[in-house]
Amino acid sequence: MNGRRAFLAGALSLPLAAKAGEAWDAVVDPATGTLGAALAAAERAGRPFRILLRPGIFTEKLTVRAPGVTIQGSPGTVIEYGTAAGTAKPGGGTWGTGGSGTLTIVAPDVTLRGLTVRNSFDYIGARRDGSGNGAQAVALAIGREADRTVVDRCTLLGYQDTFYLHTRSLVTDTRIVGGVDFIFGGAAAWFERCEIVTRYVPNAGGFGFVAAPSTPAAQEFGLVFANCRLEREAGVPVNSTWLGRPWRAGGNMALLGQAAFLNCWMDAHIRHEGWTWMGYKGPEGDQRRLTPPEARLREYASKGPGAGPIGEDRKLLTTEQARRFTRANVIGF
């Protein structure tokens, strides 16, 4: 092979250049191969590993376990699976929210580019039929071991709990679609130029919450959105969607959610009040609320019909405070 890296795993192609100067360790066509086989080869390789996915649908529920993996999609590449919290696991038991992801990353320095990742669980049908336990169904999960994850020019599709982030992540030029708490977790994450879309749900009384940060109180930064657009599907009413609510996961008193929207454009579906509370059980088992004034939920220079008015639960960063919110400070890479 003239010294070029090569392997054959299932129906994977040998390495080739997708375009001039760009070589791949694996090229996978969904008609003949699987991404799962390519990820297994990446684990065996024990070095940075580049995977190109051809157009088409990969119906696989996958975990990226090898550090330094790059997964590059082509126009029309979709990874999808339909698992939600409460649905049956192979071998017995049921999935929880964290295990429901279509694609889960548990290794550092992983990059996703040009992919659509979709949780295809029938959220609308579950609401209609009263099945499921809330229908949390994650599309992409970034685990605690997955430091320095990069998500670039992707599309993430779900309804409830679309994107779950535990650790430092950079998300650029990506479309994130969902309804209830659809960007959530304790990560320090920097979202730049992303399109954040609230979904229409028939007969819904409200249209959900964009962000649900569960940031450790000792961590300065959480979910930070810079120069993003908050948009809505057709049918989502004016003044129907919260910017978010602080999630004290498991009643952990060491969590004090942090999120900020910086220079973002917001459509009219964003509620005037901005943020709202989220319930949790206190140390004695009593039911409590974590409110926006207690948490660290802020905006700076919002634009569009959903921007403001500012009030007790919808607070601005000062210019001096906003200067602290840089990509370098938030994620360090």
Which residues belong to the active site?
161, 181
Q: What is the DSSP string of 12-53?
A: PBPP-EEETTEE-SEEE-TTT--HHHHHHHHHHH-S-EEEEE
Q: Where are the alpha helices (DSSP H) in 153-228?
A: none
- Please name the helix (run of DSSP H) or strand (run of DSSP E) that holds residue 125, with its range, or none: helix 123-129
CA angle 88, 92, 95 (to 5 degrees): 40
Which pair of structure tokens corresponds to residue 182?
A: 């659809």
Map tokens 């609308």 to a residue: 124
Which pair of structure tokens corresponds to residue 1?
A: 């092979």
Count, residues in the chain: 333
CA distance between the termini of the chain: 36
Q: What is the DSSP string of 230-252?
A: EEE-TTPPTT-BEEE----GGG-
Question: Which amino acid is it at 18?
Answer: A
CA angle 297, 314, 200 (to 5 degrees): 85
